[in-house]
Amino acid sequence: MLGVVIAVAALLVSFALFEGYENALKEVILGANAHVYIFRSGSDDLSKEDMRRIREVLDSQTEISTYAPIILTQALAVNKEQHAGILLRGIEPDGEELPTAFRKYVQTGSAELSNPLDTVIGVRLADQLGVTVGDSIKLVSPMRTRITPMGIRSRSRKFRISGLYQSGMYEYDSRFVFTRLETASQFASIGNQVSSVEIKLHSDEVENADALAYEWEKELGLGFQVVSWIFYNGNLFTIIVLEKWILFIIMSLLVIIASFNVVSATATSLMEHQGEIGILKAYGMTNANLKLIFLSRMIVLATIATAVGEAFGWIMGVFLTRQTLYQLKGDVYFVDEINVHFSWQNCLLVFGVTMLIVALSTLIPLRRISQLKVVEILRG
């Protein structure tokens, strides 16, 4: 049964790794982004009149936890010889509840943005630029250029870093720069307009974001585009779920290979107990009852082996999350930490699949019981 122990541990760990990766990715995406976004169709920003119409619709929706306007613009962050392309996000940090988990992810410095020129930048971006809390960086907007007697010049402004943003997702931590909404508006030269509206739903409505976005888009009318997090990330999570189940099927083959030992052990046990089988048959015991005896014995052993395998798999999973020898590449896997997630449903699934395979493997050699003749066994 050692093979069953190893196969069960490998099956459970692989399934838990994929589920942990899926959960970690989903948590970061839903934490760093809103659940629903409202844009103006085309490339236009939202005007005051648009915002009035949006508020009329959103204020009556019971599914919404909170919402807020946001300004998004691309820029170039510069510090001495270092530079990087960034996404500047103008937000309203003073609200009691924000549409994203911005405050949660600011783990160094302050998330208050108390001064107009305060900014919070991603921790990986800070490493790339060689800056930390209290330092200054210059943001250059290639989108907003002006012609001067000295030539074409880009709009630029210096900001003071008040905090570092660490979500755990490489793309966000290496690109996001946050500042106050009014500061971003001045930097992007868009006046009283905003780029979009971020909406946070109640936790029990998050999975219904796509349907809600469709309803609100119809209610807002022409000229508005309402998009949910599922629209942006649905294909990614579909692929992850598909890969998870394909891996589960492939790893289940290890249990099937380990079950070859079950076939061998059962066949050997039949040969060793032929005499006892003959005597029991002579006393009138049916073939079905004889098969049930051997099957029950193997099921008990398989149950113990599966329990040990799942315990070993849990230990392996804990080790993988705590080890520092290998870490994921954030620019490839989006997140840079190994996550595992064990649930009783997964443990029960692995247990059920293993028991089914072992039971079927045991029944294969047990067919020989029906072929055994009492007279031949007793003569032998």
| Whole-number Å distance between alpha carbons of 200 and 67 | 6
Q: What is the pLDDT of residue 364?
A: 83
For residue 10, the Cα-to-chain-centroid distance in whole angstroms is: 21
- C-alpha to C-alpha distance for 18 and 100, rounded to whole angstroms: 25
For the chain, how long is the longest CA-to-CA vector?
115
The CA dihedral of 81, 82, 83, 84, to the nearest 10 degrees, is 160
Distances 170 to 42, 78, 166, 179, 251 between C-alpha atoms, Å = 29, 20, 9, 20, 30
pLDDT of 377:
57
pTM of the shown model:
0.76
Domain boundaries, the chain: 2-25+235-379, 33-232
Start-end of H helices in the chain = 2-32, 48-58, 102-105, 123-129, 170-173, 181-188, 209-220, 229-272, 274-282, 287-322, 330-333, 344-366, 374-379
User: Which residues are paired to 147 by β-bridges?
Assistant: 152
pLDDT tens digits, the chain, 380 residues: what are they? 778 889 999 999 988 988 888 888 888 888 889 999 999 887 678 899 999 999 999 998 999 999 999 999 989 999 988 889 999 999 998 888 899 999 999 988 999 898 999 999 999 999 999 999 999 999 988 765 555 555 556 678 899 999 999 988 888 999 999 999 999 998 888 888 999 999 999 989 999 999 999 999 999 988 899 999 988 888 888 888 888 888 888 888 888 888 888 888 888 877 777 777 777 777 777 778 878 888 888 888 889 999 999 999 999 988 888 877 777 666 666 676 788 888 889 899 999 999 999 888 888 888 777 666 655 655 55
In the 8-state DSSP scheme, what is residue 371? G
